[in-house]
Amino acid sequence: MELHLYNTLTRRKELFRPIRDGEVRMYHCGPTVYQRPHIGNYRAFLFADLLRRVLELADLKVTQIMNLTDVGHLVDDAEEGDDKLEAQARKDKLDPWQIVETVTEQFFIDMEALNVKRADAYPRATDHIPEMVAMVETLIDKQHAYRVGDNVYFDVHSFPAYGRLSGNRIEDLEAGARLEVNDEKKHPADFALWKSDEHHLMKWDTVFGPHGFPGWHIECSAMSRKFLGDHFDIHTGGEDNVFPHHECEIAQSESVLNGPFVNLWMHTKFLQVDGGKMGKSLGNAYTLDDLSERGYSALDYRFLMMRGSYRTSLNFTWEALKGAAEARRNLNDFRSRLLGESGAEGGVALDAIAADSAVAKARQAFRDALADDLNTSESLAALFMLRNAYVHGKLSASEYPAALTLLDEADGVFGFLDAVESGGLSDQEVDQLIQERGEARAAKDFARADTIRDKLSAANITLEDTPDGVKWFRG
C-alpha cells in the first residue's frame, strides 16, 4: 500500500517513503495541560491517531511520541504574554504543578474514551530541561543564538531558510509593529529560547541564571530529538502550529544538526463551532462532557471527525454530530446483523478473496481513499455502499464472512465501532439497565443514560424504541 501524503513544507502530496525501511518515527505537538482540552484540540489528536493507524495498515512499524506542554507556552503565541499555566494557576489560586496533574489525568481519560491508541511516550517539557539547556548552549556556541542578560534569543537572520514552512518573510515579519515590543532583541523577528523571570512559578536555576524557563519552541526540538533521533519522518500539529511554533523548531533543530530535521510536516485544519472560532469566552469550547450531556458518546465525536478531511476546516454543529451518531449506529448495526442474524464469522484472508467480489471492491476503495492523503470520507463511503448492498439484499450470503472481516479491518483504522463482548449480561440485568436508563433520561441525567447505553451496546445488546416501550435483542 503506497501512501501519498500532503507536506506543508513542499505544499504538495508526496509519495511517503520512510527514512528507515518499514519503520516510521513521528512526533505530535500535544496539549498544553492548563485546562481540559476541548473538542478542537481533540481533532488534532484524532488526526494523529488516524495517521498512525493508516501507517500501520500499510504495514509500517510506527514509533509515536506526543509531548505534554506544561511550561513555556505563552497566552499569546508571539513573544509577549503570560505563561498559559501560570495564568491559569493565578486565576484558580492553584499550584501550577497541581493543574498539570489534574489536566493530564483528564486528558488520558478523554483519549481513552475517544479510543485513541496510546503513543509510545508522552514526554513532559518540565522533565527535559537539561536537554533544552544543552541545545540552547549549542545554538549560542554556533552563533545562532545570543544572550541578553539572562534571556537567550534565536537570531533568525542566521538561518536563511527561516520562513520556508509558513511562507512568511523575515522582512514582512519585521514590518509588523507587534513584534517590536521587545527592544532587547537584535531583530524584531528573533524569538526567545530561554526566558528569565523571578516571579515565574515554574523556574530553573541553570547556566543562564537562577530564574529561567524554556521557550515553547525549544521544548519540541529537544524532546523530539531525544525520543526519535536527529532526523525523523513526520511531525504534526494543528494549523496554528505552522507559525511560529514549527517554523522556529526547524530553525533551531537544523541549526544544531547542520542537516535535515523532519521530512514530512502535516497539519490539521481547525475545528470551528457554528461557523466561527471556538473560545472559552464564547462558551463554545466544548468538552466531551458537553457532548455526553446531550447524549453523544466520544465515539460519535470520533466518527464525526473521521467524516471530514483533516485538510479542510470543519464546522461543528449539533446537527452534524447527530448525523454522525446515526451513521455510526448504522455501521454498528451492520456488523451486529452480520454477526447475529447471519452468524458470520470474521478471520477471512482478505488478500485472497476474488477481486471482482463486492467486498474486494469495497476494500480496494476503502484503502485507495486512505492512501490518497487520508481521504476518510471517501473511504467511509465505500463501507456504506457495502452496507447498502447488504440492506437491499444485494450482498450474497457467501460474502458475509469477508464483509465482517473488512469491517474489522476498517475499524482498525477508524476505531469507531462499539466493542463486542459475548453477552455477559443476563436478561434480568438487561431489563434492569433499560429501566435505569429510562429513569436517567426522565431525570435529564443524559451522561448516565449514555453510560448505560454504552454498557448495553458493549454487551452487544441492541435497543429499539417502539410505541410499546423499549425492545431489545442480542446481536
Which residues in 149-254 belong to E strands, given as ranges?
Answer: 151-154, 191-196, 204-206, 209-214, 232-238
Judged by CB under 6 A, the residue of 8, 63, 69, 332 near ligand AMP is: 69
Least distance from ligand AMP to the Cβ atom of residue 271, Å: 4
Residue 90's identity, in one-letter code, is R
* Per-residue DSSP letter, 372: B
Minimum distance, C-beta of residue 443 to ligand AMP, in the bound complex (Å): 33
Residue 238's binding partner out of ligand AMP, Zn ion, none, with CB under 5 to 8 Å set by partner kind = ligand AMP
Per-position x/- string for 188-227, each x denoting binding to ligand AMP as judged by CB under 6 A, each - no binding: ----------------------------------------
Q: Is 22 exposed, middle or buried (0-12, 13-18, 19+ CB in 10 A)?
A: exposed
Amino acid at 449: A
Rounded least distance, CB 442 to ligand AMP, Å:
35
Q: Which three cell numbers stand for residue 133?
A: 539547556
Residue 436 interaction partner, one of Zn ion, ligand AMP, none, beta carbon < 5-8 Å per kind: none
* C-beta closer to ligand AMP: residue 41 or 63: 41
**Which of residues 241 and 297 has its CB atom nearest to ligand AMP in the complex?**
241
- CB closer to ligand AMP out of 237 and 415: 237
Q: What's the rounded Cα separation, in Å, for the pair 74 and 357?
A: 56
Assess 220 for contact with Zn ion (CB under 5 A): yes
Beta bridge partners of 32: 69
For residue 258, give every residue at least 6 positions away whose Cβ sits within 8 Å of its Cβ, in sequence order, or none.
none
Q: How far is the CB of 255 from ligand AMP (least distance, A)?
A: 23
**Rounded Cα distance, 256 and 142, in Å:** 8
Which residues, 274 to 303, sit near ligand AMP by CB under 6 A? 278
CA dist 92 and 86 (Å) reads 10
Using CB under 6 A as the binding criterion, the count of chain residues that bind ligand AMP stands at 17
Q: Considering only residues 96, 123, 238, 308, which one is a binding residue for ligand AMP as defined by CB under 6 A?
A: 238
Min CB(219)–Zn ion separation in Å: 7
CA angle, residues 51, 7, 299, in degrees to nearest 5: 25
- Restricting to residues 9-48, name those near ligand AMP by CB under 6 A: 29, 31-32, 40-41, 43-44
Query: Looking at 186-194, 222-230, 232-240, 300-308, which segment touches ligand AMP (CB under 6 A)?
Result: 232-240
Judged by CB under 5 A, the chain residues 118 through 177 that form the site for Zn ion are none
Q: Pseudo-torsion of CA 339, 340, 343, 346, nearest 10°?
A: 10
In this structure, what C-alpha cell is assigned to residue 445? 441525567
Which stretch, 124-132, 263-271, 320-328, 446-454, contacts ligand AMP (CB under 6 A)? 263-271
CB closer to Zn ion out of 220 and 291: 220
Strand-pair partners of 464: 471
Query: Among ligand AMP, Zn ion, none, what does residue 220 contact (CB within 5–8 Å per kind)?
Result: Zn ion
Q: Which of 231, 216, 281 is nearest to 67 (CA)?
A: 216
What does the DSSP assignment read for 137-185? Answer: HHHHHTTSEEEETTEEEE-GGG-TTTTTTT---HHHHHH-GGGGG-TTS
Contact, 222 vs 135, CB < 8 A? Answer: yes
The span from the CA of 384 to the CA of 134, in Å, is 53
- Residue 424 has phi, psi (to 5 degrees) of 95, -20
**Among the residue ranges 26-34, 167-175, 299-307, 401-409, the one whose residues contact Zn ion (CB under 5 A):** 26-34
Cα 280 to chain centroid distance, Å, stands at 20
Question: Which partner, ligand AMP, Zn ion, none, binds residue 63 by CB below 5 to 8 Å per kind?
Answer: none
- The three grid cell numbers given for residue 427, joined into one nine-digit string: 436478561
Out of 24, 29, 85, 449, the residue judged to bind Zn ion by CB under 5 A: 29
- Tell me whether residue 212 or residue 238 sits nearer to ligand AMP (CB atom): 238
Q: Which is nearer to ligand AMP, 151 or 268 (CB)?
A: 268
Cα dist from 271 to 108, 113, 181, 282, 359, whole Å: 21, 19, 31, 15, 33
> Nearest to ligand AMP by Cβ — which residue?
238
Which residues form the interface with Zn ion (CB under 5 A)?
29, 220
Residues that bind ligand AMP (CB under 6 A): 29, 31-32, 40-41, 43-44, 69, 73, 237-238, 240-241, 268, 270-271, 278
